[in-house]
Structure 1
Amino acid sequence: MAESAVIHLLANFAPFLQQEANLLTGVREEIQYIRDEFDRMTAFLRVADAMEENNPELKVWVKQVREAAYDIGDVLELYMLRLGHRYGAGFRGFLRKVSCFIKTLKARHQIASEVQRMKSRVIDISKGHQRYHDRYGMLEQGSRSTGLNTACHDYRGDALLLHESEVVGIDKPKSQLIRWLVDEDPRLKVLSVSGMGGLGKTTLLKKVFDDSVVKNHFQSHVWITVSESFKIEVLLKGIIKQLFEEIKQPVPQGIDNMAANSLKGIINAFLQQKRKTFMENSCPSHLERLSKAILNRCQGLPLAIVAISGLLSTKDKSSVDEWDKIYRSLGAELQGNDILLSMKKILSLSYIDLPYYLKLCFLYLSVFPEDCFIDHWRLIRLWVAEGFVEMKPGMTKEEVAEGYLNELINRSLVQVAKMRRDGRVATYRIHGLWREIIIVSKSGEQNIVTLAGEQSTEWPEKVRRLSINNHWEYTQQSKHFTRLRSLLMFNATDSLSTLSIIASSNDGLRLLTVLDLRGASLETFPNEVLKLLQLRYLSLRGTKVKIIPKSIGKLQNLETLDLKQTYVTELPDDILKLQRLRHILLYRCLVDDVPSYPFEYQCGFKAPTEIGSLSSLQKLCSIETNHDNGTILLREVGKLTQLRKLHIQKLINEDGRVLCSSLEKLSNLRSLIVRATGEDEVIDLDSLSSPPQLLRTLCLDGSLYKIPHWIPSLHSLVRVFLRWSKLRDVDPLESLQDLPNLVELELVQTHEGEQLRFKAGGFQRLVILCLGGLKGLRCMKVEAGSMPHLEELFIRECKLVEELSSAIEHLTNLKYLQLGDMSNGLISSLSRDLERGNNWKIARIPKVWIGDSKLGYWEGNYL
């Protein structure tokens, strides 16, 4: 854990060492010494990382390194803030430089004194490092050893490797054994299988042992091989190890030296705990609500269910208070309960096993409230702003961060809550017990995140990151916030006053890098923000802020500006001073989520004309181009070669060629959304000769003469939306059906013809199809072999007259059919057939929904 802090610190030393003109004599050498000393510690930290949890003395030393790294980083950044001036050129610049030197002399002496103190602190920590120097060799050697073991070969084990399909003649005896084990007399029993060698006894029994019916019937399972000459103690130890490994709990200490009777006692105690909490009796009615609530806290984690059930079995069944106390304070119960402590140790193993660069990212998840759905891109942008993400050649930091998330998903440490329709993850969630037992406790212990209002009452001396959920009564002394780096508020009603209170501490919020006020009750841009010169991430999403002040140009370290769903309609020219900006997110939906959007359901913002100077931009959403400088603005977009997502609003026909010229330069583009000034305005992008080949999402809202000729060449396309195209003599399916990776297709007022024909072999990966506003459509044909993987079909405002069942006959994987505002005749016949059980083609679809919006709202029924 400390290594992440140290590596981040080392990466930031260079700018300070380059400021030689501003450094007092000796300070440069002191900083260089500190850097070199931390550099020497880093190699040891990488090896010590995995041993920190089990070595209290080493844990103290690592904590000292981590806190020293944070404090030195604070000192150096404060130094930069106080002395980092631009003097200008010429004689006036020289005078400013001399004047500044005199004015800041006291501050520079203070910095020199602080650096000297930090050097002494590092020297003391280094002495502690020397005490571990001998151990370092052993650690390094241990990490390289392979530990090969040799053992006699047991040929019976070969039978266990056979797949069931490779074995013949066991179906009948296997079924019989399973019946004896599961279906018949529930009393304890022993079943014996005998026969000559090679008959297949071991194979048969292993297949019974592995059968899902047997696995689900018994809570514990052990496979033991008994040879002709055996020791009972060895067998009992093997049983114990398997029993505890199955529930991922550590094996009791000292079993290697126990006699047979003691080992039998452990097995007996274990199996006694395996009865559910109320033994053979049902749950008392007065505990049912709490039982379900506690079970929900376990969220399906078997280890948690077993451990907490064991705890509850020791409690008074007549006392609701005792059970309620456990529900409310599972975290506190961990401190004094051996059963739950062992669960915590087991859960900790997954955390300890993480590589150093993931530990900080993982514990950072504690900033999000319990049961919060964590947005994919929000988390990634926060990680990047916090400095957690390493640079890798040929990759953006955001791409590296996505790799981090995938690692955590693969380790089952974060759960996917919602998938996007293109197969990517939209939101995540954290298992409640994971969050409470591991993430929150370790995050607080290592001073990564402080949670205001949660159970912990003891605050660190220097709060580094503060997360406030709902209302928070300010009772802490201001000294806690002198080194605050991140402030995130969730559902806060008094965010502005809270921000003002925290900003009034000794150094204000001068070191703040992350400020997330999403959803706060703000109507004006907070003045305190303009003083946060280190700010990298600013979110005012969902607030009522209307105007961004010119002085935002002071925030020259800003990387993310999130103003989605605010009332801001224009960004000042001073935004161009923010050369590190990577994400500008600013648009607002004008209507709620309804089946049929009006054309103007979103508005963007008026961008500065010279937007092309922001060369680091990756996301630009969404700029309006129907003003006097729109043509120049579109030309400037071509300079943003790092763009991954581009959203353009209110494009006029005459600017289509200029946009095409710019798009040819955006080779990194993954998402392109273009909306015309009105539904009758033509979008002319046919002059685009070299489209971005990595494009995954394409949305064109406006009239088209024809489908752009370059669309069929975009083999990376996953999602295509063509709305208000109003094509007359052109079949849009011809250009789209062979796209090899197309998963989602939406056609809204795209086609004015009477028929759509989905040909055999077309749309081989399509999962979602939405057809809307095709009022001329009378017939929909789907040939066999078309859309073989289609799962969801939405049809709205289409006056189909032919029977729909023939169109979906070959869509054998269809799971959801939604029909809205269709012809009365079609809906009536469909409903009548389904009620009578006549239409099996529709009836086989798991979910069918029919709705109508004629009354001014959207309502419907599942059939």
Structure 2
Amino acid sequence: MESAALSVVSKVGQVLVDELQDIRGVGNKVVHLRDELATMNAVLRVISEAEQGSVDHIVREWEKQVHDLVYDAEDCTDTYSLRISRSMARPSIYARAKRVAMYPYKKLVLQRALTADIKDLLVRTTTVSERRARYNIDRATLPRAAFLAPVSVASISARSLRRADDPHQFVGIREQADALANKIKSPIHDQHDKITAPVQVEDAKSLKVVSIVGFGGLGKTTLAMELCRQLDVDFPCQAMVSVSQAFNVEKDMEGLSKRLLQKLNNKGEDETNTIEEVLKKTRYLIVIDDVWSLPAWEAIWNIFPKSNCGSRIIVTTRIKEVAVAASADFVHHMEPLEREASEKLFVKRVFSSTKLGDCPTELKETMDIILKKCGGLPLAIVSIASLLPSSTSAESIDMWKQVSRSIGSHMESNRTLEGMRQLITLSYDYLPHYLKACMMYVSIFPEDYMIAKDRLLYRWIAEGLVTEKRGLTLLEVAEEYFNELLSRNMIQLDKFVYQLKDSREVEVQGCRVHDMILEVMVSKSHESNFVSLVGCEFEGKTYGHGKVRRLSIHDNDHDEHHHSRHGVEAMKLQHVRSLTTFQRVDLAKLLDRLGEFKLLRVLDLEDCTSMRNKHMRDVCRLYLLRFLSLRGTGVKIMPRKVGNLERLETLDVQHSHQEVTTDCDKVKQTRAPMGQ
């Protein structure tokens, strides 16, 4: 939870002093409140850097109280700023002149309300501080965990990008992909992975399915993506969609079809076409990632045309029965790495070496223990290796031993999801405090979503998650954060080619998050009320409680009645700072409520075709807005009043339904088009 509040505390304290200390009767109280918040900020930092085993329920409860206090203080300052901005923004010269004349009186009223709010916050702050002293929440009771020594920005950037550009960073993936690629292009296979004699041409051209089965973290998705890369020439029509564990055939099939069509539409297909129409005369390669049940697979199989074009479907799954049912011809079993391959991957990751035996003697015994505990799972090996320094200093040796002790023994003989989650949680716990909120932020995005890099970086900045550094712009600091998360294997570099309507192609750089890592981030986000998630995959679960600060809608398949049933219409929206939707249609009721998001800073409606010109009236009244994405929406005209959004830092109107025109000279696009 500390990562959710750390980025806010220092900013709130500074805003209180800069903007409010001159108000009569408030100045001294503001300074006192700022100092108390600064002290809490320091204690939150201690909690963030502590050995997680020493952080008990009392500490977590106190942390939650600080979290709520900090955000309420932020609400206090932002509400005051909002009211000041609204009092000066009027449509006509006459109305503006009238408001200017009334401004001193209005400001006095606002200051009195603010004074009362500050006093209430001070009372709460004193109470929370007394609890910290009473329960001894300090450095003495929260020993610091081992962390990597700081490395240079150039080192992080070069190392992370070098690894990320290597499609075979998991040992053995290239060899498996080479063998599978040849078999996928061959007519048919038997169940023992051997190619049979040529068969009739008609059978060779029929639709075939290849199953990849294995435990989570073995690299099934990585292998499938590498196969797509190798077979790009043979299968120019490709797409990949992920199936959630909570997939419900009746409710979710339409949504999966829409997502698949959306992927195919990026290839220039007509959005009004069906999957049958798009694929029936095309040789295609489709990846259906992470199928969890037989009913799900049977429903998915039925949407594909069974034409004789030599098309292939790749299915990845953890369930053997699903793999066999999907492909009677060929099932590829992924197995844990043998000891030698595990060491090769580990050494490659830590020491950038491809030679066995390159692990220094001082570290070899600890390496052997770590590899045994990782159980041959590539994701586990890479996640732990990304924590470790390559030097043999006494400090580094101690850190290796501490990391080794922190890893449970669950994976040695019994590879369980819980054991893998614990390893991922360990990787998260070892992140520096400034990266934790940025990493939790990816929980906003759906599984298997390619997050455009510039979209993520500008959103981090708008949310205040990026700390200023002397000599660097905020964007440069955000890029450092991005590269460090790459280096630690918390995110994976990815890119795709976006085809514009004039047939030009733009390469977009971004990242993906492994589904098991994303699952842990969603859990962390839920614990700290960092993001509230709405979607069919979250049915029966509560992913958001208390005041909603960041709202993310993942649905692609339900109408607005679904949102009503699952709480969106019942939510109080006045505290929401970030609204993101990944649903393209059926959002009219939510968009009609945009005026209620008074404190909104980030509004990301990318590809939401329900967004229309009429909704821009409310958007132009969101005076605290810093990030606005209308990319791919139905907005065609940018109203002049957008110029009233004086805090707007990023405006994205690329690839909208039509070229967006503006009649406002004050509007400028501060965000570079993706991929350019």
TM-score range, shorter chain: 0.5 to 0.7
Q: Which residue does 1:544 correspond to in 2?
A: 634
Q: C-alpha distance in 1, partners of 2:581/2:338?
A: 48
Q: Which residue does 2:485 correspond to in 1?
A: 408
**Residue number among 506, 518, 527 corresponding to 1:445 in the alignment:** 527
Q: C-alpha distance in 1, partners of 2:29/2:380?
A: 54
Change (3 A) 1:133 1:16: same
- Residues 1:457 and 2:542 are matched in the alignment: yes
Change (3 A) 1:443 1:139: closer
- Residues 1:17 and 2:17 are matched in the alignment: yes
**Residue number among 105, 108, 112 corresponding to 1:102 in the alignment:** 105
| Percent of aligned pairs sharing the same letter | 32
Give how far 1:427 is off: 2.2
**Residue number among 505, 515, 528 corresponding to 2:603 in the alignment:** 515
Structure 2 gap ranges (5+): 150-336, 347-363, 383-413, 499-506
Give how far 1:100 is off: 3.2
Q: C-alpha distance in 2, partners of 1:93/1:490?
A: 38
**Conservation of the 8 A alpha-carbon contact between 1:524 and 1:547:** yes
Give how far 1:4 is off: 6.0
SS in structure 1 of the partner of residue 370 of structure 2: helix
Describe how 1:816-831 pairs up with structure 2 within 5 A. none
Q: C-alpha distance in 1, partners of 2:483/2:648?
A: 27
SS in structure 1 of the partner of residue 613 of structure 2: coil
- Residues 1:428 and 2:519 are matched in the alignment: no
- Residues 1:468 and 2:553 are matched in the alignment: yes
**Conservation of the 8 A alpha-carbon contact between 2:579 and 2:603:** yes
SS in structure 1 of the partner of residue 128 of structure 2: helix
SS in structure 1 of the partner of residue 563 of structure 2: coil
The Cα offsets for residues 536-570 of structure 1, whole Å up to 9 and x where unpaired, read as 11111112322111111111111111111125656
Change (3 A) 1:67 1:99: same
Change (3 A) 1:303 1:433: farther
Q: Which residue does 2:189 correspond to in 1?
A: none
Q: C-alpha distance in 1, partners of 2:486/2:343?
A: 29
Change (3 A) 1:409 1:528: same
Give how far 1:14 is off: 4.0
- Residues 1:487 and 2:579 are matched in the alignment: yes
The Cα offsets for residues 129-155 of structure 1, whole Å up to 9 and x where unpaired, read as 3246584246578879x9xxxxxxxxx
Change (3 A) 1:112 1:11: same
Describe how 1:170-249 pairs up with structure 2 within 5 A. 215=340, 245-248=370-373
Q: Which residue does 2:5 correspond to in 1?
A: 5
Change (3 A) 1:523 1:94: closer
**Conservation of the 8 A alpha-carbon contact between 1:16 and 1:80:** no
Q: C-alpha distance in 1, partners of 2:126/2:441?
A: 30
**Conservation of the 8 A alpha-carbon contact between 2:10 and 2:41:** no
- By relative contact order (CA 8 Å, sep 6+), the higher-ranking structure is 2
Give how far 1:531 is off: 1.6
Name the Cα RMSD after superposition: 4.4
Describe how 1:252-331 pairs up with structure 2 within 5 A. 301=379
Q: C-alpha distance in 1, partners of 2:643/2:75?
A: 23
Q: Which residue does 1:136 correspond to in 2?
A: 139
Q: Pick the structure with greater CA Rg.
A: 1
Give how far 1:459 is off: 3.1
Q: C-alpha distance in 1, partners of 2:533/2:660?
A: 35
Q: Which residue does 2:452 correspond to in 1?
A: 375
SS in structure 2 of the partner of residue 467 of structure 1: strand
Q: C-alpha distance in 2, partners of 1:393/1:96?
A: 40
Q: C-alpha distance in 2, partners of 1:371/1:411?
A: 19
- Residues 1:529 and 2:619 are matched in the alignment: yes
Give how far 1:45 is off: 2.5
Q: Which residue does 1:778 correspond to in 2?
A: none
**Conservation of the 8 A alpha-carbon contact between 1:4 and 1:357:** no
**Conservation of the 8 A alpha-carbon contact between 1:351 and 1:359:** yes
Change (3 A) 1:543 1:457: same
Q: C-alpha distance in 2, partners of 1:127/1:486?
A: 33
The Cα offsets for residues 10-48 of structure 1, whole Å up to 9 and x where unpaired, read as 32444443445983x422322221111111222332222
Change (3 A) 1:575 1:62: farther
One-letter amino acid of the structure 2 residue matched with residue 434 of structure 1:
I
**Conservation of the 8 A alpha-carbon contact between 1:419 and 1:426:** yes
Q: C-alpha distance in 1, partners of 2:465/2:510?
A: 20
Q: Which residue does 2:35 correspond to in 1?
A: 36
**Conservation of the 8 A alpha-carbon contact between 2:531 and 2:544:** no
- Residues 1:26 and 2:15 are matched in the alignment: no
Give how far 1:349 is off: 0.7
One-letter amino acid of the structure 1 residue matched with residue 588 of structure 2:
L
- Residues 1:358 and 2:450 are matched in the alignment: no
**Conservation of the 8 A alpha-carbon contact between 1:544 and 1:567:** yes
Give how far 1:87 is off: 11
Describe how 1:747-786 pairs up with structure 2 within 5 A. none
Give how far 1:86 is off: 5.4
Structure 1 gap ranges (5+): 147-211, 222-238, 250-273, 277-297, 305-336, 585-616, 622-644, 646-670, 672-863
**Conservation of the 8 A alpha-carbon contact between 2:49 and 2:145:** no
- Residues 1:122 and 2:125 are matched in the alignment: yes
The Cα offsets for residues 502-538 of structure 1, whole Å up to 9 and x where unpaired, read as x46xxx1111011111111134251221121111111
Give how far 1:243 is off: 7.7
Q: C-alpha distance in 1, partners of 2:490/2:673?
A: 32
- Residues 1:111 and 2:189 are matched in the alignment: no
**Conservation of the 8 A alpha-carbon contact between 1:367 and 1:449:** yes
**Conservation of the 8 A alpha-carbon contact between 1:41 and 1:129:** no
Give how far 1:127 is off: 1.3
Q: Which residue does 2:73 correspond to in 1?
A: 72
The Cα offsets for residues 786-827 of structure 1, whole Å up to 9 and x where unpaired, read as xxxxxxxxxxxxxxxxxxxxxxxxxxxxxxxxxxxxxxxxxx
Q: C-alpha distance in 2, partners of 1:568/1:525?
A: 16
SS in structure 2 of the partner of residue 481 of structure 1: coil
Q: C-alpha distance in 1, partners of 2:342/2:477?
A: 44
Q: C-alpha distance in 2, partners of 1:18/1:556?
A: 18
Q: Which residue does 2:238 correspond to in 1?
A: none
**Conservation of the 8 A alpha-carbon contact between 1:13 and 1:35:** yes
The Cα offsets for residues 330-369 of structure 1, whole Å up to 9 and x where unpaired, read as xxxxxxx995433322221100000111000001001111
Normalising by structure 2, what TM-score? 0.54
The Cα offsets for residues 298-320 of structure 1, whole Å up to 9 and x where unpaired, read as 9x63689xxxxxxxxxxxxxxxx
One-letter amino acid of the structure 2 residue matched with residue 10 of structure 1:
S
Change (3 A) 1:27 1:479: farther
Change (3 A) 1:27 1:126: same
**Conservation of the 8 A alpha-carbon contact between 1:22 and 1:83:** no
Q: Which residue does 2:357 correspond to in 1?
A: none
One-letter amino acid of the structure 1 residue matched with residue 17 of structure 2:
L
One-letter amino acid of the structure 2 residue matched with residue 28 of structure 1:
G
**Conservation of the 8 A alpha-carbon contact between 1:452 and 1:467:** yes
Total equivalences in the alignment: 418
Q: Which residue does 1:822 correspond to in 2?
A: none
One-letter amino acid of the structure 2 residue matched with residue 26 of structure 1:
G
Q: C-alpha distance in 2, partners of 1:34/1:350?
A: 35
**Conservation of the 8 A alpha-carbon contact between 1:495 and 1:517:** no
